[in-house]
Each structure stands twice: as C-alpha cells, then as structure tokens.
C-alpha cells in the first residue's frame, strides 16, 4: 500500500477562490492532504472538528410542528379573547374554549408530527454516496461525511458534492447554471487561474451542487457544507422547501376562506353591536364563526394523507425522497423512459460475433471487443463490476472467460462519451506493433471506415430489424504511436459486429396499458438504434407517434423540437444533453413531465424533469438525481405510485369540499340567527366544539377509498369550482338549519339551552352524514363504498354529538335536555336532507360538465429557488447536534445553519 501523504493542515478552511489561483501541490499542502487521500482517522477527526457536509436536517422536530399549530392568527385571537372573557368573569365559556383549542391543537400536532416522523424515516433510508480515496484505497462514503482534504473521483452525471480543486481532468465539462445562471457548460482544467476572476471563471475548480456534463476528474475537497458557494446560497433560503403546485393550491384556497371569514365575521360583529349585545360576547361569537368556517385540520389532513401515502408506496416498492414528491408523482401526465430494463428485461446477453469479412474469425472479433473496454483488464484485480451492460455481457460470455490478458499491453485509451459514442484503445500483442481498436455504435464506427459493402450493410439492417442490439468493431495499425486522441480515430477497417439481445418484458404491455388508463403518455428515449427501439415498441403495442433521432434533434431549433417532441413517441440515438433538452421543452409545452432512467447518461434528464424516477439497482448518480426510487424496475410499480399520488389529492379535495360547504352553511345560519333571535343561537364554545367534532371525524378521510374515475387523469386545484360548490351546498345546509330553528321555536317553544342543544345535534348529524354523499359523484354506498375507517369515525362522531347534550356535561356546555319527539323529527329531516343533497349533486356535476371549458394545460415554471432547494435536499442528515459541538462564530447549537461562513469578500 502506498504511503499516505498527510501533513498537518496549515489553515482550514481554505477558500475556493484562493485554491483556484494556486498550484495543485500548494493547495494539497494547505489542506494537509496528499494525492492518495486522507487516512480514515484524520477524516474522522476533521468531520468532528468541522462538522458534516450538510445543508439540511430531516430530523422531526416536535417544537417546529407545535409552532406551526400555534401560528394561526385566529387561534391567537381566540386565546386572547378567552383570556379577556375569563378576566371579565365569564369563566365557564373561556374554559370550554380553552379545552377545545387544546384538543384541536393536540389533534393537529399528533398527526403532523407523525407525518414528520414518517418523512424522517423515509429520508434516512436514502443515502447519497461519493467515491473517495482514503487509506490509499478507493471507497464509497456518504456525501455528508466528506471533509476538506478528501480526494474524490467524479464522472459524467455526478452532482459535485463539495467545492473542489481539480487535480486531474479529462474532457471535463460542467453545468453550473444552478450557481451562475449560464446555460452553456463550462470547460474545466486543473491549471491555476491567473489573476482575479469571477465565480464562473474559476475553471480549475468545481462547485457543490453543479453537475458534470461530460468527462471525468479527480479533485481535492476544499470547502464543505455552508462554507461552499452553493451551501451559502442554500442556507440563505432557510430550511423550508419551495412550495409545490399542490401547496400553492392550498394557499389560494386559504385566501378564499379568509375573504369569506372576514366578510361574515365583520358583518356579525357589527350587527351584534348594533343590537347592543355585550362586546366580549359579540367578539367571541364573531371569532368563533371565523374559526368555524375554516377547516382547521386541513394541514393535519394533508400531512396524514402524505404519511399514509408514503407507507402505502413503500409497501408497493416505491420510495420517495420527500413527501411532496408524492403529489408531483400523481400530477405526472407525460413519462419519458429509457428502454433497457424498463420495457425490456435488462438482462443483456451476448449472442454472436459476425465478422465483416473472411480475414477474421468470430473468436478474434470477440477478442477485439474485449480489448476495447474501459476497464483495465491487464490489472490482476480487474472486475466487470461497474462496466456498461454490453461490456459486462461480453466478459460474462464463454469467450470472455477464455481471454488471456497477459498477451496484451494497453498503451492508451479514449473513454466512451455520448458525443462520439465509441471507445478506442491503443494496444499491442506480445511485443507486436501497436494497433487501434475502436468499438461503438455502428453508425459512428462505420463513418470512420472506408467503403462498406452492401452485404455488410444488409447484415446490419437484418440485425436491427430483428430487434438486436449491435456494436461495431473496427481496427487499424498504429505503428509508432504511444498515445491516441479522437483525431486518430480514422481510416479504420471494419472487423465486424457484436450482437446482443435484450428481450421485452412479459409484463411490460400490461404496465403500459395501465399507464395509458391513467392518462399518461409514454415516450421512449434511448441511445439505441431507432429500428431496435421501434421493434420493441411494436412488440409491446406502444402507439407510434413517430421517431426522432439524435441527429434530427440536434438540427432543430427549440420551437421546432418542442412541437415535434409532443408528437414523437421514440427518441433514438440521443445523447444525455439531448435527453435533458427534450425534457425541458416538453415541460415548457405544458403539463408535468417525469423521466425514468437508471444510467449515468440519464442523470442530466433526471435533473431536468418535474419528477425524476430511478431504481434501486441504478447507478449512484442516477439515484442521486432522482426524486423517486423504485425497488423494482417495473412500470407497473410506477403506475401504483401515480395512483397513490392522485388518491391523496382526491381525498384532500373531498375534505375541502365537505368542510367548506358544511361549515359555510352552518356559519351562515348562525350569522343570520344571531341577528334575528334575541339570544345567540349557539355559544362560541359550542360552535368550536361542533367544528372540532366534525373535523375529528374527517381525520379518517386519508384512508378512504377513491372512485376509479378520479384516478384516470391528473387533478388540478380549481378555486372557482370550490367556490361554486360552497355556494350551492352551503345554502342547502342552511335551509335545514332554518327548519330546525322553526321546529325548536314554534313547535317545542324552546328556551335558549334547548334551542342550542337541538341545533347542535342537528348540525352534527347532518354535516357528518353528508360526508357519504359528497365524497363521491356516484350513488353513495351502492356504487361507491366508503372505507370502514370513515364509516366508523363518522358514526362515532354522530353518537358522541348526540350524547353530549344529554350527558352530565350538558350544563357546563350550556345545553338543556330535549324532548323525545325532537329526535323523531330529526330522523325525518335527515332523510329528506340526504335525498335533496343527492339530487343537487347530480344537477351540479351535470351542469359543471356542460359549462366547464377544457382545462388549459398549465405551464410549470419552477425557478432557481426550487432547483437550489431540491438539490440541497441531498446534503441532509438526521441529527446535526453531535457533529456540531465545535461551534465557531455565529453558530447555533444543533442547527445545520451553524455552517454559514463568516468570512467576507467571497465572490
């Protein structure tokens, strides 16, 4: 083992700007590191001293959840007014309100905290790894465990894990748009940067959060966490994630409720003052109306839905990195996916070597193919692990087992890249003159050869038409060469073709049909030949919208490609950059675009998609870039995830529609009655208790069944639809409230305590049972069965609501006993109410279907803030406290924010 070149660091941390201008040797000396990396002991010491390479915490915080519960201005006002009421002598009502508020906050807290714990457990299952040199050996460590001085290896598609000074680089291009806003990739080189330079001109350095677009490199970590340029920006955004479309819809809905609540509350308060009611009583009643019209447990319902969805998805082998990814998954209407392993079995097997002429045998052709692999087979410890699937299949063949590496000496290699789409090596056999062997896509290799006989082209077309994957091999003498570059790939002689087979999956057709039923358009993006992709799609029954090749994509302008990409169903021979461009243009055309891939060449497209999807067996860079990881590479599993996302949205909308319509009707009735009657129709505490009981029953909604038709297409927030629903079904509720008022006043000649008890029971019964009508557009129970949990919760709330006015607590709550005939009348009114609401529902949805214009396709515009926060999520740890005890200036105990840099003057 080589000796570790470790010195004591002269000064840490070293800024990336300083490192960019200094020679490599000086930077390593400043970092106290060497080209063979740090020792594990030294790395552990620095991790304790400097803290983790993290920007976020995903530990569930009970205090944060509680703070969100108490942040509601209405709750704060109610607490203040309850205190005033207690001060003025109305102790009973203030105690009742206080208890109800505690229960309400407790319910919300318990459900949200449970969701936070689910998110923490989920995030802890996802690890992001980096390849480092420690103890002079190459190994993988968690990204958050990197420290200044670590030597890291990076390749195409990798997200840069820290600010890094390059030690070596080969054809390296970096996408730094997340930092600089520049869309063009930047060429990188280890040479020191002369003079003063802006951030985008520090070509000898790589920056955390940026992406390698081409090439590979080795570098030394200079700055981690909040000391990195990206970390400084990410910490400036705080811990809160940018809002998704779903969350923005919730926000718009909240504004609607706020407008209605302010209007009703103001009118009621003014009317009660004009009627010379006591000020505190009027204020409490008005505020209770405001709270009563608001679905108080909506955040808890959403959190519970997401937590439940996460658990359901995990059972279905779908792992989401963030809870809000579930919403994005359900919102997807276009899926672009690779072919290998998704539509095919992914088990590529080598089937034949077809020589192009008589001067070479099949065995010799296979040997040339084995020679032209990037793995250094001359090493005694060489392994096919990490090879591309085609090379791995070659080495797994019988000919691969017989290969004798000792006969060959590799002199140089040009690694595969997705522009050239080939690999070339310079090799000599047993002391003979060296020669170049090139292996790659037939189109690109044939272009470097001389005239190709028609028989050879026919042989190639025959293989493509059969759906085989084909790799061409060519060679030429290279006398006198000791190294090669792309310019030497010329004047080649075609040796022949290596044939591979990857059969279509048996279950792929059914999975594609399921996605089609969900309204998802599937498009294929592959680096393979167009005829091969078309053959597979034809066998699986994928509707053909046409094929675009990489050459055609390259020749199109953005508007032309956007139009063509909407129609095309196959993108063949496309590079990673072209895949990402197609994804961006599809997103710009509207809708929500998902991309599914598992290779290094898929990372750029995964970053560009609305929802990036990978698999557990994918390359690390692909898993890092993805938002969702499938434990099985199966489109059927993905379809389950989409359905779960849509089920969550559908159940949330159920609660919104039920809550707003019932609450609006009840509060409108209360407002009207408060003006007409000589007493308050319901005390503030009774209003809050009524609302709390109703909401508590709704907590079972996240587990409710959803009708099939609600899953066939992505749903969008429609505030106009919610408003119309509220104004149609709310007044129907009020009609029966007014009927109850008349019954209590003119039939039973009720006193205030009886009146309030009667309306309390009627309100609980009608608005709880109406759940079963409003939760579906079908005929309830007969054509749409609710979940047992919802039935049990609803009946339990009704039973408890009827019991309260009859219980020993009735006097404390302000209720008087009711006559038995009232309950008989209640049964009749309830039955009529349910029938009337069912008729109104049929009319409302029929009218809505006729009047509603086609939903315009929304164009998603996720800005830089969203991209920064999404990428920062990978630099996350569960608990920062133990690693941050060595606090510097401006640090706070137990917070990742402690890593914010304190030194000025950084660009």
Residues marked active site are found at 338
Residue 606 contacts residue 615 (beta carbons within 8 Å): no
**338 within 8 A of 599, measured Cβ to Cβ:** yes
Residue 726 contacts by C-beta under 8 Å, 6 or more apart in sequence? Answer: 260, 660, 661, 664
Q: Which two tokens stand for residue 797?
A: 């709330």
**Conformational region of residue 573, where left means phi above 0, alpha means psi within -120 to 50, and beta covers everything else:** left
Task: Kindly state the DSSP code that residue 897 receives in the 8-state scheme.
Answer: G
d(CA 687, CA 760): 8
User: Which tokens is 698 given?
Assistant: 């709704």
CB contact at 8 A, 851 and 724: no
Distances (CA, A) of 776 to 170, 654, 763, 783, 845: 60, 8, 21, 9, 11
Buried b (16+ CB within 10 A) or exposed e, 369-391: bbbbbebebeeeeeebeebbbbb
Q: Enter the tokens of residue 864.
A: 């830089």
Cα torsion angle, 886, 891, 894, 897, sign = negative
Paired tokens of 735? 């009609």
Strands 422-429 and 876-877: unpaired
Instruction: Return d(Cα 231, Cα 511) in angstroms, integer.
Output: 41
CA distance 299 to 655: 11
Burial zone of 161 (CB within 10 Å; 0-12 exposed, 13-18 middle, 19+ buried): buried
CA distance 870 to 864: 10
Task: Report which of 308, 309, 255, 253 is spatially closest to residue 656, judged by C-alpha positions.
Answer: 253
H or E stretch at 571? strand 570-572
- Angle between the N-to-C axes of helices 91-125 and 279-293, in degrees from 0 to 180, rounded to the nearest 10: 30
Judged by DSSP in three states, 29 sits in helix
Distances (CA, A) of 144 to 226, 234, 617, 649: 12, 15, 22, 34
Alpha-carbon gap, residue 686 to 682, rounded angstroms: 6
Residue 751 sits at the vertex; the CA angle it makes with 745 and 754, to the nearest 5 degrees, is: 90
Burial of 409 (0-12, 13-18, 19+ CB in 10 A): middle
User: By the 8 A CB rule, do 252 and 719 touch?
Assistant: yes
Strand partners, 212: 174
Which residue do the tokens 């009742």 mark?
Answer: 96
List, as one string, the DSSP characters of 126-155.
Answer: ---EEEEEETTEEEEEEGGG--TT-EEEE-
**DSSP letter assigned to residue 294:** S
Tokens of 579: 């895949």
CA distance 199 to 531: 45
Phi, psi of 874 (to 5 degrees): -75, -20
Longest CA–CA separation in the chain, Å:
115
Q: Write down the H helix ranges in 599-634.
A: 603-608, 620-625
Residues 6+ apart with CB under 8 A from 615: 341, 598, 623, 629, 630, 631, 632, 633
């Amino acid at each position: 083992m080589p000796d570790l070149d470790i010195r004591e660091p002269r000064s840490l941390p070293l800024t990336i700007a300083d490192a960019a201008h200094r020679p490599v040797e000086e930077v390593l000396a400043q970092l106290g590191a060497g080209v063979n990396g740090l020792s594990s002991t030294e790395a552990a010491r620095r991790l304790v001293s400097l803290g983790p390479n993290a920007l976020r915490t995903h530990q569930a915080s009970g205090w944060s959840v509680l703070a969100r519960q108490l942040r509601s201005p209405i709750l704060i006002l109610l607490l203040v007014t309850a205190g005033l009421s207690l001060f003025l002598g109305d102790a009973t009502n203030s105690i009742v309100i206080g208890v109800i508020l505690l229960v309400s906050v407790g319910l919300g807290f318990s459900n949200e905290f449970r969701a936070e714990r689910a998110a923490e457990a989920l995030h802890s299952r996802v690890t992001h790894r980096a390849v480092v040199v420690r103890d002079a050996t190459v190994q993988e460590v968690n990204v958050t465990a990197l420290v200044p001085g670590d030597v890291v290896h990076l390749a195409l598609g990798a997200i840069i894990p820290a600010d890094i000074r390059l030690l070596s680089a080969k054809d390296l291009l970096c996408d730094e748009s997340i930092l600089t806003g520049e869309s063009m990739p930047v060429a990188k080189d280890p040479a020191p940067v002369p003079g003063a330079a802006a951030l985008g001109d520090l070509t000898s350095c790589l920056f955390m959060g940026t992406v390698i677009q081409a090439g590979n490199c080795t570098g030394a970590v200079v700055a981690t966490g909040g000391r990195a340029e990206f970390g400084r920006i990410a910490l400036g955004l705080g811990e809160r994630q940018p809002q998704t479309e779903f969350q923005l819809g919730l926000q718009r809905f909240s504004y609607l409720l706020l407008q209605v609540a302010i209007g009703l509350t103001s009118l009621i308060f003014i009317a009660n003052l004009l009627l010379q009611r006591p000020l505190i009583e009027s204020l409490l009643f008005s505020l209770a109306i405001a709270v009563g019209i608001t679905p108080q447990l909506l955040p808890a319902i959403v959190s519970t839905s997401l937590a439940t969805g996460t658990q359901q998805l995990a059972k279905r082998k779908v792992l989401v990195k963030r809870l809000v990814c579930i919403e994005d998954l359900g919102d997807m209407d276009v899926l672009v996916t690779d072919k290998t392993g998704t539509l095919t079995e992914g088990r590529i097997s080598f089937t034949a070597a077809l020589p192009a002429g008589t001067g070479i045998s099949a065995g010799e052709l296979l040997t040339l193919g084995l020679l032209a692999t990037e793995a250094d087979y001359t090493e005694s410890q060489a392994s096919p692990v990490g090879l591309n699937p085609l090379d791995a299949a070659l080495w797994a063949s019988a000919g691969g087992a017989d290969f004798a590496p000792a006969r060959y000496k590799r002199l140089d290699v040009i690694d595969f890249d997705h522009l050239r789409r080939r690999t070339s090596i310079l090799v000599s056999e047993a002391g003979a003159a060296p020669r170049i062997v090139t292996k790659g896509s037939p189109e690109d290799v044939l272009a470097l050869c001389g005239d190709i006989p028609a028989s050879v082209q026919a042989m190639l077309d025959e293989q493509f038409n059969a759906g085989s994957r084909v790799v061409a091999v060519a060679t030429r003498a290279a006398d006198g060469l000791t190294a090669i570059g792309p310019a030497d790939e010329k004047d080649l002689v075609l040796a022949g073709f290596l044939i591979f087979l990857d059969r279509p999956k048996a279950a792929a057709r059914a999975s594609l049909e399921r996605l089609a039923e969900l309204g998802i358009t599937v498009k294929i993006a592959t680096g393979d030949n167009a005829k091969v992709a078309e053959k597979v799609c034809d066998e699986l029954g994928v509707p053909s919208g046409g094929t675009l090749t990489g050459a055609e994509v390259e020749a199109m302008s953005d508007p032309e490609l956007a139009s063509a990409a909407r129609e095309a169903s196959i993108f063949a021979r496309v590079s990673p950059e072209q895949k990402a461009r197609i994804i961006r243009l599809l997103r710009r055309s509207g809708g929500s675009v998902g991309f599914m891939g598992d290779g290094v060449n898929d990372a750029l497209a995964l970053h560009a998609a609305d929802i990036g999807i990978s698999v557990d067996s994918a390359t690390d860079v692909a898993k890092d870039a993805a938002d969702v990881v499938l434990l099985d590479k199966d489109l059927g599993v993905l379809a389950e995830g989409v359905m779960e996302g849509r089920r969550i949205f559908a159940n949330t909308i159920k609660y919104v529609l039920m809550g707003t319509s019932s609450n609006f009707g009840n509060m409108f009735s209360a407002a009207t009655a408060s003006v007409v009657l000589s007493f308050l129709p319901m005390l503030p505490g009774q209003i809050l208790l009524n609302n709390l009981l109703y909401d508590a029953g709704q907590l079972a909604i996240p587990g409710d069944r959803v009708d099939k038709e609600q899953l066939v297409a992505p749903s969008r927030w429609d505030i106009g639809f919610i408003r119309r629903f509220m104004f149609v079904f709310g007044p129907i509720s009020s009609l029966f409230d007014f009927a109850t008022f008349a019954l209590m006043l003119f039939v039973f000649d009720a006193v205030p305590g009886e009146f309030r008890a009667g309306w309390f029971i009627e309100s609980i019964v009608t608005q709880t049972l109406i759940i079963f009508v409003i939760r579906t557009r079908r005929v309830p129970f007969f054509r749409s069965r609710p979940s047992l949990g919802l039935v049990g919760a609803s009946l339990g709330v009704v039973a408890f609501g009827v019991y309260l006015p009859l219980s020993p607590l009735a006097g404390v709550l302000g209720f008087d006993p009711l006559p038995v005939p009232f309950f008989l009348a209640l049964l009749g009114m309830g039955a009529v109410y349910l029938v009337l609401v069912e008729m109104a529902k049929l009319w409302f949805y029929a009218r809505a279907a006729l009047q509603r214009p086609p939903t315009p396709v929304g164009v998603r515009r996720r800005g830089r803030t969203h991209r920064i926060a999404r990428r920062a999520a990978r630099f996350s740890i569960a608990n920062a406290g133990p690693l941050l005890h060595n606090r510097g200036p401006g640090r706070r105990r137990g917070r990742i924010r402690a890593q914010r840099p304190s030194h000025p003057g950084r660009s």
